[in-house]
């Protein structure tokens, strides 16, 4: 059915006006030959019959008026099967033209000689009158078509505005809200019907639009505290732009995002690393291949993973690889070392805090690592060092899938996968009442043990090659490889610090290796030789061996780099531990005063 159907009532009224004014029967059809308006004998067929007159088809096609006084005999009538029994005796046909396209035809028809004579005698005046009626219908149709087009454009624009993640609010120059998208509805807990048409200062007194309209200028990246209808506080990062035309202010538009979402995106982007795939975990030994295969098999699972292994074996690298291979890979991976943060701060780091939760707290509060990891993965490294009162909170997260901020009273749902790691024997920790047994079983759903480097010695040459290329590039050195003697030293060493210790040794060697030369025994760190002797002197007590090795490494590092605060920071960085962890080790081995 054509466009004329939208003004069918107007078409019928016009047909009746024409018939009353000219005393002739009138028919109005659309461009599909469907009757839209009629009088007299054809009115009974209104909206139920098509009139496939060859004359009307010609007028629609050529968009020109036509007058016929010999129906059935005119050449246009020849294809018509009813030409010899035509019920019409004459007619005037006039197109309804909108934008040079015929959308219908107004027909004045006669059924007897008297009506025919009337049409012929008044042909010119009738055509003028019908032309005006056709223009009237064309104007009405144009208005409807324009309104339809605007409506479609508005629906399309509204769909676009509602599809964006940002909240969008607009208002006119008087502050009356004209647009309130679905994100704004969700953020503030208001429907657009409750907002549109009301003044922005009444509905949202903290909105940046108020400031923009008051000062007649735009503002960007402003932090705005607002309140949801349920009373919850919301921090927004907002932009308000003044809309002008010919230097006259027409209104303003505000776009905003929730601060915590921006933080999550920023955290995800700033912490994204390329070296997270399993293919980038270096090693070809059977044991490392098996470990990688097991980790890959559980990557798509939602179950909690507990990674165990000695320090420096690459537990975080495996955790990142599991995350990158999971369906959460596009969401944040958030890592926190539980032993590197003082107990007094660890709770707020994990769970965040509300404004004014404690002395020194930020006015706007703070997001915790669990909220930053929402939708993704949180890696709790060295969880064996977590204090018992926080272990209870982690257990609650695993059981109830929600957190409570420090100083808060409400539960916040979080969707995170937990991967925990430790170098400690947690069963021994449980026996000593230093780790909760119920938390252990919650964490140890999927156990994953990373083998120490001494159990995959065949991987040492390929690791050395990779690390040489890495640090030669970083330090802008041209290294020809390792001498046979240097390689033998590295192969014989037991590597109590595992891959991290090997990495430190290679970085050290490349720093002191002349450009264009091979790494030799003379450029290797001296603790490689001293520690070998120490370890061999202490029998089979592995724990004692490791402690003596660690103490010797610390002694060599202090001797080489000094004991200043800056030197200690560098030593801690080289060892891959926090400064507080380094101080604990130094006190443990009585290398500094308590």
Same domain, 416 and 279: yes
Region 494-506: what's the mean pLDDT? Answer: 90
pLDDT at 140: 93
Q: Which residue has the tokens 């003697």?
A: 485
CB-count exposure of residue 435 (10 Å: 0-12, 13-18, 19+): buried
Q: Which residue has the tokens 């809309």?
A: 243
Q: Residue 183 is part of which domain span?
A: 164-258
Q: Using CA atoms, how far apart are residues 284 and 315, in angstroms rounded to an integer? A: 17
What CATH number did the domain enclosing 41 receive? 3.30.450.40
Q: For the chain, give the mean pLDDT.
A: 85
Same domain, 386 and 458: no
pLDDT at 547: 65
Is 62 inside any structural domain? yes
- For the ranges 197-201, 312-316, 341-345, 543-547, which has the lowest average pLDDT? 543-547
Here the tokens at position 60 are 């629609």
Same domain, 206 and 355: no
pLDDT, tens digit (0-9, with 9 covering 90-100), for 379-401: 999 999 899 999 999 999 999 99
- For the ranges 96-110, 216-230, 408-422, 553-567, which has the lowest average pLDDT? 553-567
Here the tokens at position 241 are 């732009």
Same domain, 107 and 249: no
Same domain, 299 and 402: yes
pLDDT at 269: 64
Same domain, 95 and 127: yes
- Domain end residue (candidates: 231, 258, 285): 258
Closest CA to 408 of 372, 366, 469, 465: 366
What CATH number did the domain enclosing 438 receive? 3.40.50.300
Is 264 inside any structural domain? no
In this structure, how many other beta carbons lie within 10 angstroms of the beta carbon of residue 493? 23
Here the tokens at position 572 are 């801690």
- Domain end residue (candidates: 112, 147, 182): 147
Whether the pLDDT of residue 526 is over 90: the answer is no
For residue 309, the 8-state DSSP code is -
Strands 417-422 and 412-413: unpaired
For residue 452, the 8-state DSSP code is P
Coil, helix or strand for 67? strand
Angstrom distances, CA of residue 322 to CA of 120, 348, 363, 439, 492:
90, 26, 37, 21, 32
Here the tokens at position 123 are 């042909």
Q: Using CA atoms, how far apart are residues 289 and 283, in angstroms rounded to an integer? A: 7
Q: Using CA atoms, how far apart are residues 453 and 459, in angstroms rounded to an integer? A: 8
Is 495 inside any structural domain? yes
**3-state helix, strand and coil shares in percent for the chain, rounded to the nearest 5:** 50, 20, 30
Pick the most confident of 278-282, 340-344, 439-443.
439-443
CB-count exposure of residue 539 (10 Å: 0-12, 13-18, 19+): exposed
Is 153 inside any structural domain? no
Here the tokens at position 312 are 């420096």
Same domain, 433 and 458: no
Same domain, 297 and 209: no
Same domain, 213 and 349: no
pLDDT at 405: 87
Coil, helix or strand for 107? strand
Is 88 inside any structural domain? yes
Is 158 inside any structural domain? no
Under the banding of pLDDT at 50, 70 and 90, the label for residue 573 is confident
H-type helices in 325-362, by residue range? Answer: 343-351
318 and 448 in contact (C-beta within 8 Å)? Answer: yes
Region 159-185: what's the mean pLDDT? Answer: 90
Is 351 inside any structural domain? yes
Coil, helix or strand for 256? strand
Q: Using CA atoms, how far apart are residues 266 and 372, in angstroms rounded to an integer? A: 10
pLDDT, tens digit (0-9, with 9 covering 90-100), for 54-66: 888 888 899 999 9
Higher local confidence (pLDDT), 423 or 83: 423
Coil, helix or strand for 462? helix
Here the tokens at position 531 are 């520690």
CA-CA-CA-CA torsion sign (77, 79, 80, 83) = positive
Under the banding of pLDDT at 50, 70 and 90, the label for residue 535 is very low
Angstrom distances, CA of residue 260 to CA of 128, 222, 581:
70, 14, 31
This prediction's pTM? 0.57
Q: Using CA atoms, how far apart are residues 183 and 163, in angstroms rounded to an integer? A: 9
Q: Using CA atoms, how far apart are residues 349 and 371, in angstroms rounded to an integer? A: 10
What CATH number did the domain enclosing 564 receive? 1.10.8.60
Counting the structural domains of the chain, the total is 4
CB-count exposure of residue 293 (10 Å: 0-12, 13-18, 19+): exposed
- Domain end residue (candidates: 402, 432, 449): 449
Same domain, 301 and 352: yes
H-type helices in 325-457, by residue range? Answer: 343-351, 369-372, 388-400, 426-431, 437-443
pLDDT at 90: 85
Whether the pLDDT of residue 476 is over 70: the answer is yes
Task: Give the N- to C-terminal CA distance of the chain in Å, as an integer.
Answer: 93
Same domain, 327 and 445: yes
pLDDT at 536: 45
pLDDT, tens digit (0-9, with 9 covering 90-100), for 280-315: 788 889 999 999 999 999 998 999 999 999 988 999
Is 408 inside any structural domain? yes
pLDDT, tens digit (0-9, with 9 covering 90-100), for 251-268: 999 999 887 777 767 666
Here the tokens at position 313 are 């074996």
Same domain, 319 and 442: yes
């Amino acid at each position: 059915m054509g466009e004329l159907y939208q003004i069918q009532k107007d078409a019928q009224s016009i047909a009746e006006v024409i018939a009353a004014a000219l005393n002739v029967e009138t028919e109005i059809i659309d461009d599909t030959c469907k009757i839209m308006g009629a009088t007299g004998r054809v009115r009974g067929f209104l909206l139920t019959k098509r009139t496939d007159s060859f004359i009307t088809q010609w007028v629609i096609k050529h968009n020109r008026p036509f007058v016929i006084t010999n129906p059935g005999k005119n050449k246009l009538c020849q294809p018509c099967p009813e030409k010899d029994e035509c019920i019409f005796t004459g007619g005037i046909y006039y197109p309804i033209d909108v934008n040079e396209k015929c959308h219908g035809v107004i027909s004045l028809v006669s059924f007897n000689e008297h009506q025919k004579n009337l049409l012929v005698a008044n042909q010119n005046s009738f055509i003028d009158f019908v032309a005006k009626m056709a223009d009237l219908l064309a104007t009405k149709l144009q208005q409807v078509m324009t309104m339809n087009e605007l409506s479609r454009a508005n629906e399309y624009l509204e769909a676009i505005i509602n599809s964006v993640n940002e909240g969008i609010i607009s208002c006119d120059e008087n502050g009356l809200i004209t647009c309130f998208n679905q994100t704004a509805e969700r953020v503030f807990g208001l429907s657009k019907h409750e907002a549109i048409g009301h003044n922005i200062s009444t509905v949202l007194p903290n909105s940046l639009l108020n400031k923009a309209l008051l000062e007649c200028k735009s503002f960007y990246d402003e932090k705005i505290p607002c309140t949801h209808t349920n009373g919850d506080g919301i921090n927004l990062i907002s932009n308000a732009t003044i809309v002008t035309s010919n230097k006259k202010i027409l209104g303003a538009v505000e776009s905003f995002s929730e601060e915590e979402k921006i933080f999550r995106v920023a955290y995800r982007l700033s912490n994204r690393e390329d070296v997270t795939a399993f293919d980038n975990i270096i090693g070809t030994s059977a044991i490392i291949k098996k470990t990688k295969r097991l980790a890959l098999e559980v990557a798509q699972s939602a179950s909690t993973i507990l990674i165990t292994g000695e320090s420096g074996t690459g537990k975080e690298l495996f955790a990142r690889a599991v995350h990158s291979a999971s369906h959460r890979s596009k969401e944040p991976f958030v890592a926190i070392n539980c032993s590197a943060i003082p107990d007094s701060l660890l709770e707020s780091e994990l769970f965040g805090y509300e404004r004014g939760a404690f002395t020194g707290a930020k006015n706007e509060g703070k997001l915790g690592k669990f909220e930053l990891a929402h939708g993704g993965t949180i890696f709790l490294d060295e969880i064996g060092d977590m204090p018992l009162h926080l272990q209870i909170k982690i257990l609650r997260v695993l059981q109830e899938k929600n957190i409570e901020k420090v100083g808060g009273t409400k539960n916040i749902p979080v969707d995170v996968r937990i991967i925990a790691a430790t170098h400690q024997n947690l069963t021994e920790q449980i026996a000593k009442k230093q780790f909760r047994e119920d938390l252990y079983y919650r964490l140890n759903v999927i156990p994953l043990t990373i083998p120490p480097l001494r159990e995959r010695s065949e991987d040492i040459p390929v690791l050395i090659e990779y690390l040489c290329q890495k640090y030669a590039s970083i330090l802008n050195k041209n290294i020809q490889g390792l001498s046979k003697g240097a390689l033998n030293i590295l192969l014989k060493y037991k590597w109590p610090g595992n891959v991290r210790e090997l990495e430190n040794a290679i970085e050290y060697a490349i720093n002191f290796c002349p450009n264009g030369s091979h790494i030799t025994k003379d450029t290797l760190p001296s603790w490689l030789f001293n520690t070998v002797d120490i370890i061999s002197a202490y029998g089979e007590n592995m724990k004692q061996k490791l402690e003596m090795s660690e103490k010797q490494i610390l002694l060599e590092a202090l001797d080489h780099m000094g004991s200043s605060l800056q030197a200690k920071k560098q030593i801690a960085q080289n060892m891959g531990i926090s400064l507080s962890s380094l101080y604990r080790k130094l006190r443990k081995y009585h290398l500094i005063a308590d």
